[in-house]
Structure 1
Amino acid sequence: MAISLVKGQKVDLTKGNAGLTRITVGLGWDPAEIESKGFFGKKKSKANIDCDASALLLDGSGKLTKEKNLVCFHNLKSPCGSVVHTGDNLTGEGDGDDEQINIDLQRVPADVERVLMAVNIYDCENRKQDFGMIKSAYIRVLNPANNTELIRFNLTDSYAGMTALVVGEIYRHNGEWKFNAIGEGAHAAHINILARRYT
């Protein structure tokens, strides 16, 4: 049974799951309904929002040591091959994960201590969009060997005005891997801008 986390909570991934060497990080969200005035009165519609999930491979001091250690829609695989993005979802419509990132924990280089997960809204400035227009956002970790959900963190805070979210991180601790539920909003119009914070 999956462990449901709250913001700031940390939990073991590999210690309690013997033999776990690969994980899938699933991120999901839905566009919220927006109300607008039309010719025949008020109408509800869903915003067309393109969210992009990313992973930043950071060293022990929290730095992005290589530019290609940013795995996102324009760089789907880390140089070491340990972190692979499965591809861009343009709308967030439908059930289940909108985007997934696969991590081979055994192949993560020794100089990478943390894999930080973030979500940005594509072209947010031109489209005048922010995370106040998103609902039901979550991050979860699965065991891809049997598709079992290990942990889930539902992002329930208000992120109105924010254009990026740092949702969680996978990190090393005493030879094991753990998960930290972060859930912090940020102002970053593009993942490359957010990544600069870690250089």
Structure 2
Amino acid sequence: MGIQLSKGQRIDLTKSNPNLVKGVIGLGWDTNRYHGGGSFDLDASAFLADENGKCLYDEDFIFYNHLAHASGSVVHTGDNRTGEGDGDDEQLIVDFSKIPSHVHRIGITVTIHDAENRSQNFGQVSNAFVRLVNDHDGEELLRYDLGEDFSIETAVVVCELYRHGHEWKFNAIGSGFSGGLAALCQNYGLEV
């Protein structure tokens, strides 16, 4: 088992793991018992941003309708609409050797699809986590459990991968947003 992180902790990825070329970012969650009539559909996304935290191009936003960056640096493995079962509910694969030079940060987020219409929020989500696994050998390098700090939020910036010189680091963020995917897109400089 890898290193367990807490909110706000940062850790080196590529310097201390020189064989890390591809990382699998696994995200998982459970939903609390809820009788609102609609099922939960949580969605993972990645925002490939510049040094100012803004996406320069629409193509730098990876989500269920745009599964792969043209560079091959970030690939979403597909939308899980139920979150049923144990383990990762959705995954993003990051190939550090292919990340374009204009990308300095990769924000990893989770949103609740159609949350407002379904009266859903992250206060109804439990056991949320992100983990990073070395694709080469399957070793889990780190894990960050988000805890139960959310109430009305409909989107969460779970973590960020960021460039530090020639190396990449991981920042456990766990910051909630109201306004869902639209709010996140605006945060990263994209028009909705």
2:184 is aligned to: 194
Once the two structures are aligned, what percentage of the paired residues are identical?
45
1:65-104 matches, within 5 Å, as 65-104=56-95
Divergent runs of 4+, >6 A: none
Contact persistence 1:57–1:115 (CA under 8 A): yes
CA distance in 1 between counterparts of 2:111 and 2:52 reads 23
CA distance in 2 between counterparts of 1:192 and 1:114 reads 19
CA distance in 1 between counterparts of 2:56 and 2:72 reads 16
1:137 is aligned to: 128
CA distance in 2 between counterparts of 1:28 and 1:186 reads 18
* Bigger Cα Rg: 1
TM-score scaled by structure 2? 0.94
Matched, 1:55 2:33: no
Gaps of at least 5 residues in structure 2 are none
2:29 match: secondary structure: strand
1:18 is aligned to: 18
1:75-113 Cα distance to aligned partner (Å, 9 max, x none): 101122210000000011100000000011010001100
1:137-174 Cα distance to aligned partner (Å, 9 max, x none): 00110001111110000001421100000000111112
2:100 is aligned to: 109
> Aligned-residue CA RMSD in angstroms?
1.5
CA distance in 1 between counterparts of 2:121 and 2:27 reads 17
- Number of matched residues? 189
Gaps of at least 5 residues in structure 1 are 37-44
1:141 match: secondary structure: strand
CA distance in 1 between counterparts of 2:25 and 2:148 reads 20
1:3 is aligned to: 3
CA distance in 2 between counterparts of 1:147 and 1:167 reads 22
Contact persistence 1:32–1:46 (CA under 8 A): no
Contact persistence 2:38–2:118 (CA under 8 A): no
CA distance in 1 between counterparts of 2:63 and 2:91 reads 11
CA distance in 2 between counterparts of 1:138 and 1:15 reads 24
CA distance in 2 between counterparts of 1:88 and 1:175 reads 32
2:169 match: secondary structure: strand
Letter in 2 for 1:119: V
1:41 is aligned to: none
